[in-house]
Amino acid sequence: MSTRVSVCPTRPDTEISELMDFISATQMNTTSTDQQETPRRSFYDDQEKVEDMPDKEKTMLHLVKMGFLMDEASLAIEASGPDTEIAELMDFISAARASTTDVDQQEPPCQNIPDEVLPHTRKWWPSWDHRSKLNCLQTCHGSVTTTSKIHNALAIWKDEDPPLRTQKYVLGECRKWNLIWTGKNRVSVLEPHEIELLLSYPINHTRGFSKTDRYRSLGNSFQVDTVALHFSVLKRMFPNGISALSLFSGIGGAEVALDRLGIPLKNVVTVEISEVNNSIFR
């Protein structure tokens, strides 16, 4: 079970160190029924046993408590020496993990339009519109006036391809506003649920709010699959879960990515100034 704590947006002056202390305090007060963790916790909390340990074992214990595997901690200490600072040992482990991961060989997820995304619009896509990608999503969108002008400019050509001048004008507006084809010579703005699909959010992730609020929140959001690609290295680093400090991450793209990777969120402290984003994330 994860514990999520929202930090009131009226406290923007809270220091990062205080937030981290708050996370630690929350973790200490969180009880768990996980039988596998119980023996380890009782052993770690026995200060007398810890004090009697050799320095090497104390350092190893410290690393394990931070979430590293015993084998990783042991290898790092053997290679770097028992007197090496914890920060250097952490760097050693991270570098070792990076050398064995194939993340760098992967390519960022790519969704082509209209075939892979929005395939229902494929039949309306003219042969002279060769777009396969959309531009960066914005917090605003094209107006009805813009789409009407495009329709009027194309209507007179019926079944013929418009002249290059008209094509250039239409494609320029389509790229500017990320317009898609939804009918014969008709373009439309992306609907909020279509943007959710493009950004790989759960269906109806922002449902229940006005279109204006949904456009604004989605326009300032992460592409979840891309974030998951970069976060995938954390799966091996934190197999037992992770506590997160989320600073202005919007509608939870980073948290959704971690969830899809199967990385348990033990505690999450969020700082977000937008009440709409806070409500969506809840």
| 207 assigned to some structural domain | no
End position of a domain, from candidates 142, 170, 190: 190
Classify residue 232: in a domain, yes or no: yes
Q: What is the rounded distance in angstroms from the CA atom of residue 72 to the CA atom of residue 63?
A: 9
Q: Provide the pLDDT for residue 215.
A: 92
Which amino acid, 77?
I
Q: For residues 238 and 263, is the Cβ–Cβ distance under 8 A? A: yes
Q: Are 101 and 236 in contact (CB under 8 A)?
A: yes
Return the closest-CA partner of residue 196 out of 250, 246, 143.
Answer: 250
Does 7 map to a domain? no
In a domain, 237, yes or no: yes
Residues 236, 38: Cα–Cα separation, whole Å: 22
228 and 175 in a single domain? The answer is: no
| CA distance from start to end of the chain | 15
Give the separation between CA 249 and CA 281, rounded to whole angstroms. 10
204: left (phi over 0), alpha (psi -120 to 50) or beta: left
- Give residue 35's pLDDT: 43
Could you tell me if residue 181 is inside a domain? yes
- Residue 106: other Cβ atoms inside 10 A: 10
pLDDT in tens, the chain (282 residues): 555 555 544 455 666 667 666 666 666 555 444 444 444 444 445 555 667 677 788 788 888 888 888 888 888 888 888 788 888 888 888 777 765 544 444 555 556 778 788 888 999 999 999 998 888 888 888 899 999 999 999 999 888 899 999 999 999 999 999 999 999 999 999 999 999 988 999 989 999 999 999 999 998 888 899 889 888 888 888 888 888 888 888 898 888 999 899 998 888 888 888 888 888 887
Task: Identify the domain containing residue 66 by its residue range.
Answer: 55-93
Q: What is the pLDDT of residue 149?
A: 94
Q: How far apart are CA 63 and CA 77, in angstroms?
A: 10
Tell whether 200 is covered by a domain: no
CB atoms within 10 A of CB 199: 22
Secondary element (H or E) of residue 266: strand 265-271
Which residue among 190, 209, 240 closes a domain? 190
Residue 23 in contact with residue 243, Cβ under 8 Å? yes
pLDDT of residue 31: 45
Task: Clarify whether residues 229 and 181 are in a common domain.
Answer: no
Asked if residue 264 lies in contact with residue 240, where contact means CB atoms within 8 angstroms, the answer is yes
Maximum C-alpha span of the chain: 88
Q: Is residue 40 one of the residues assigned to a domain?
A: no
Strands (E), 58-130: none
- How many domains does the chain divide into? 3
